[in-house]
Amino acid sequence: MTQQSTHDLRRRTYLKGIGFAGTAVLTGLSGCTGGSDSSGGASLELLHGWSGGDGQAAFDSMLEGFEAKHTDIDVNAKAIGGGGNTSLDARINTRLTNQNPPGSWTEWPGKNLEQFTSADLLADIGESVWSNNGMQNAYLDGPKQAATSGGSFVCVPTNIHRINNLFYNTAVIETAGVDLSNITTPTSLVAALETVSENTDAVGMAHSTKSPWTTLQLWATVFLGQAGAAAYDAFISGNGDRAAVADAFKTVAAYSEQFPEDASTIGWKEANTMLVEGAAGFFHQGDWAVGAYGPEFAFESEWNHVAFPGTKGQYALNMDAWVFPREGPSSEAAKQWLQYVGTKDAQVRFNTKKGSVPPRTDVSTEKFGPFQAAQMSSLQDSELQPPSIAHGLGVTPEVLTKLKQAVGAFSFTKGSADETAQAFMDVFN
Amino acid sequence: MIDKLTRFTKTITRRSKALFADGGTVQDGGDESALLPRPSGAFFGSLPFWLPPFLLMGFFVYGAIGWNFVISLTETSGFGAVDYSQLDGEQYTRALGDPTFIEATTNTFGLLVAFTTVCLGIGLLLAILMDRKLRFDNGFRTIYLLPMSLSFVVTAQFWLWMYNYNNGLINSITSTLGLGRYRWISDPELVLPAVVFALIWQFSGYAMVVYLAGLRAIPTDHYEAARTDGATTFGLYRRVIIPQLKGATISAAVVLMVFALKAFDFLYSLTGSYIPPEGSDILATMMVRQAFRLNNQAYAAAIGIMLFVLAIAVIAPYLTYQHKQGEL
């Protein structure tokens, strides 16, 4: 009996203890969130999606450079990773709906920003940021256009990934006896893919259809190579040519016969591994794929790349940019940050680690590897920098979601190509 | 120490007056009525116990649902404050005219019914087998229940491998049996059954445990009496045992249905995006896509309310049954 009662008493004491501890924790937390404003220097909250791997290393390096220059600014950076910016977008969405924007955050520039600019949530930084550090002259037209909305600058792009790459495994291509100089159009690639699968054990083209963006990206690149830059522009402005859209899908359908048979259950990284292991001859992907090519899979000797057939002289853009909110909590500190991310120092720090190239064309290639240096000169020499569709530069989020849904229903047959082309046309209506 | 503790408790707890440091027995001489709820003061006397949880639940759960309902009556989309000036059912009519919504509802309902029924069937079968006093039955029970402890993120990747066209186990089995290989995930006709199958694998162990508890609660006399009356094993289960598992069936079914409505996690993890494989869009994925990708908050709220109504409609028979049994 005694034991029972003391047991009960202890239990109550514990419960009380837990209650007090809980209250203390809550008080502590509210102290934390409320306390950040009271610190001496200016504080700056940054939200981004680089929560791991090369992205995190790249951001950390850039932040280090900023903090060394601006010791008075207390940076509170939050990495919200996962699902290719899905989680970050949802967080930004909620924060903006609650009229509580962070100091700055990353977005895909271009039409993706229309969701914010149409609600007048971003402010002009042409004077305060873009007039500094020779930025206006250092950026090419494509990236500059993506950074503007209605003629005024609203963000600063910090890195460019190229979309129109065709990677290949040199050993597989040589064994198959494919002559790359014959591949000048997206349709002529079909024959090369067939040659690879006939003459080797490898599949013609590694590809993942697990989520729709990879196929949307492939279609967009084929469309750009087949129908040309003017047709591409017309499509993203809502005046696409249905027949040309369908033709590009027919080419993708022809490629699909040379895809790995398990394309629907593998991710793009697994498809990339197929290229590394010599299980595939060709691979189309953004140049972030190179991040997985270690020292044992060397550039030029083991793998190489060409501009996707039909897109020579073009540098199809995928970019990340830091935006400037109109009602931001720390606009002076945010401007300092935006000025910094537009400098050579920041872009060298970020891009050497990220595997992308600086949007500034006046950055020395010295600190970059041979592949990045080659991409940098391709960018500088490019005549056109078409904005990506699958990565939101060329289309609004709503259009992008509908395009992805339409691609999800594409069954990689010629018959389905016409239906999907019609669905693409309907997206803009 | 114990004495000290007891004395401390005495000062703060009125009822502990009745406690003795040595025994802890309650001295109930003439004070018994104070311990039992008196009919007149019961309401006020019980307030401190039910009011805080009632308020918290009311505010954070039902208040949020109510607010969501109000938002679903507005036209909110994009950023900025919600405009409550004009409330109507436009989002609901929009949904009924949206083929994506109709497809998502059909898929949700199909998933719900197929998953719950098959899960219960397999669970019952396993439970009956388990109840035959097998050797290592504890081990088997753990094995069957284990998949439930895995998160959807893990099982989704696991089933992507299982359904792989070239080297997935499922296709290895079907091709060995001469049925050929299938593109389980990319074929719009097959993906929903494939998802249902994966979910059944994960949750039939739960149905088994619930049924097993129900079976163990049936007195041995029932078996013996049925045997004495000459019942066959099949007849015994059909006429005597399974009818007694009605309660277990209903409670397991409700939990399974709730899991089915939450299949969002699984579908999200399959592709890593808000667009699930063609043919497997359900209301939950559609709602999240509308809310967080397309910024159509009001439309997403309306989808949420309709999903809620579907969930209520599914649980209503259970509540009615419980009410009739006098357990509610």
* Separation between Cα atoms, residue A203 and residue A194, nearest integer Å: 9
* Gap from A240 CA to chain B (nearest CA, Å): 23
Residue B232 backbone dihedrals phi, psi, to 5 degrees: -75, 170
Q: Write out chain B residues lying below 8 Å of A262, CB-based.
A: 164-168
- What's the domain range around A154? 3-161+319-381
Residues A236, A357: one domain?
A: no
* Gap from B316 CA to chain A (nearest CA, Å): 33
Asked whether the predicted pLDDT for residue A30 surpasses 50, the reply is no
How far CA A301 is from CA of A63, A174, A184, A206, A282, in Å, comes to 35, 11, 22, 19, 15
Task: Say if domain B105-261 classifies as CATH 3.40.50.9100.
Answer: no
- Percent of chain A past pLDDT 70, that is, above it, reads 90
Contact A211 B272 (CB under 8 A): yes
pLDDT of residue B233: 86
Picking from A12, A83, A115, the nearest residue to B295 by CB comes out as A115
- Decide which of B307 and B317 is more confident: B307
Residues A187, A295: one domain?
A: yes
Asked whether the predicted pLDDT for residue A12 surpasses 90, the reply is no
User: Does residue B53 sit in helix, strand or coil?
Assistant: helix
Asked whether the predicted pLDDT for residue B59 surpasses 50, the reply is yes
CA-based nearest residue in chain A for residue B281: A405
Residues A7, A116: one domain?
A: yes
* Gap from A345 CA to chain B (nearest CA, Å): 34
Instruction: Count how many pairs of residues, chain A against chain B, have C-beta atoms within 8 Å.
Output: 114
pLDDT of residue B25: 44
Enclosing H/E stretch for A221: helix A212-227
Of these ranges, A106-110, B215-219, B251-255, B320-324, the one predicted with the greatest mean pLDDT is: A106-110
Query: Is A278 within the bounds of a domain?
Result: yes
Asked whether the predicted pLDDT for residue B208 surpasses 90, the reply is yes
Q: Write out chain A residues lying below 8 Å of B164, CB-based.
A: 262, 265-266
Angle in degrees, 0-180, between the axes of helices A344-354 and A53-69, rounded to the nearest 10: 160
Q: pLDDT tens digits, residue range A125-153?
A: 999 999 988 999 999 988 999 999 988 99
- Decide which of B309 and A6 is more confident: B309
Q: Write out chain B residues lying below 8 Å of A10, CB-based.
A: 5
Asked whether the predicted pLDDT for residue B127 surpasses 50, the reply is yes
As for how many domains chain A has, the answer is 2
Least confident of A28-42, A343-357, B163-177, B258-272: A28-42
**Mean of pLDDT over chain A:** 88
Q: How large is the greatest C-alpha to C-alpha distance in chain B, in angstroms?
A: 82
Contact B293 A401 (CB under 8 A): yes
Residues A260, A400: one domain?
A: yes
* Gap from A263 CA to chain B (nearest CA, Å): 8
- For residues A20-49, average pLDDT: 56
Q: pLDDT tens digits, residue range A272-300?
A: 999 999 999 999 999 999 988 988 999 99
Query: Is A388 within the bounds of a domain?
Result: no
Residues A61, A155: one domain?
A: yes
CA-based nearest residue in chain B for residue A409: B278
Which residues are within 8 A (CB) of B171 and not within 5 positions of it... i.e. 6 or more apart? Answer: B163, B164, B165, B181, B182, B184
B103 CB burial (10 A radius; 0-12, 13-18, 19+): middle
pLDDT of residue A7: 54
Contact B24 A211 (CB under 8 A): no
Q: pLDDT tens digits, residue range B253-289?
A: 888 988 888 789 999 988 888 889 889 999 999 999 9
Question: Kind of pairing, strands A42-48 and A73-79?
Answer: parallel
Q: pLDDT tens digits, residue range A355-406?
A: 999 999 999 999 999 999 999 999 999 999 999 999 999 999 999 999 999 9
Residue A281 CB-half CA count within 13 A:
29
Query: Is A390 within the bounds of a domain?
Result: no
Which residues are within 8 A (CB) of A303 and not within 5 positions of it... i.e. 6 or more apart? Answer: A167, A168, A169, A170, A275, A276, A293, A297
Contact A211 B275 (CB under 8 A): yes
Contact criterion met (CB below 8 Å) for B232 and B238: no
- Percent of chain B past pLDDT 70, that is, above it, reads 87
Q: Write out chain A residues lying below 8 Å of B24, CB-based.
A: 1-2, 4-6, 8
Contact A6 B270 (CB under 8 A): no
* Gap from A216 CA to chain B (nearest CA, Å): 13
Asked whether the predicted pLDDT for residue B163 surpasses 90, the reply is yes
Asked whether the predicted pLDDT for residue A34 surpasses 80, the reply is no
Asked whether the predicted pLDDT for residue B35 surpasses 60, the reply is no
Asked whether the predicted pLDDT for residue B105 surpasses 70, the reply is yes
* Gap from B190 CA to chain A (nearest CA, Å): 13
Residues A156, A174: one domain?
A: no
Q: Write out chain A residues lying below 8 Å of B5, CB-based.
A: 6, 9-10, 13
Q: Write out chain B residues lying below 8 Å of A212, CB-based.
A: 271, 273, 275
- For residues A222-237, average pLDDT: 96
Residues A178, A154: one domain?
A: no
Least confident of A317-331, B24-38, B209-223: B24-38
pLDDT of residue B138: 84
Query: Is A121 within the bounds of a domain?
Result: yes
**Mean of pLDDT over chain B:** 84
Query: Is A66 within the bounds of a domain?
Result: yes
Residue B21 pLDDT level (bands cut at 50, 70, 90)? very low
Least confident of A35-44, A314-323, B201-210: A35-44
- Decide which of A46 and B136 is more confident: A46
- Decide which of A72 and B23 is more confident: A72
Residues A286, A406: one domain?
A: yes
Residues A194, A342: one domain?
A: no
Asked whether the predicted pLDDT for residue A303 surpasses 60, the reply is yes
- For residues A240-246, average pLDDT: 95
| Mutation choice for B interface testing from A4, A15, A114, A264 by most B CBs within 10 A | A264
Asked whether the predicted pLDDT for residue A84 surpasses 80, the reply is no
Asked whether the predicted pLDDT for residue B237 surpasses 90, the reply is no
Q: Write out chain B residues lying below 8 Å of A213, CB-based.
A: 273
- For residues B38-59, average pLDDT: 84
Residues A124, A11: one domain?
A: yes
Asked whether the predicted pLDDT for residue A111 surpasses 80, the reply is yes
Contact B164 A84 (CB under 8 A): no
- Global pTM reads 0.83
Asked whether the predicted pLDDT for residue B20 surpasses 50, the reply is no
* Gap from B323 CA to chain A (nearest CA, Å): 34
Query: Is A142 within the bounds of a domain?
Result: yes
* Gap from B126 CA to chain A (nearest CA, Å): 31
Q: Write out chain B residues lying below 8 Å of A265, CB-based.
A: 160-161, 163-165, 168, 184-185
Residue B200 pLDDT level (bands cut at 50, 70, 90)? very high
DSSP A38-56: GSSSEEEEEEES--SHHHH
CATH number of residue A137's parent domain: 3.40.190.10
Asked whether the predicted pLDDT for residue B74 surpasses 60, the reply is yes
Q: Write out chain A residues lying below 8 Å of B160, CB-based.
A: 210, 265-266
- Decide which of B317 and B87 is more confident: B87
Contact B24 A397 (CB under 8 A): no
Q: Where along chain B do its domains lie?
A: 105-261
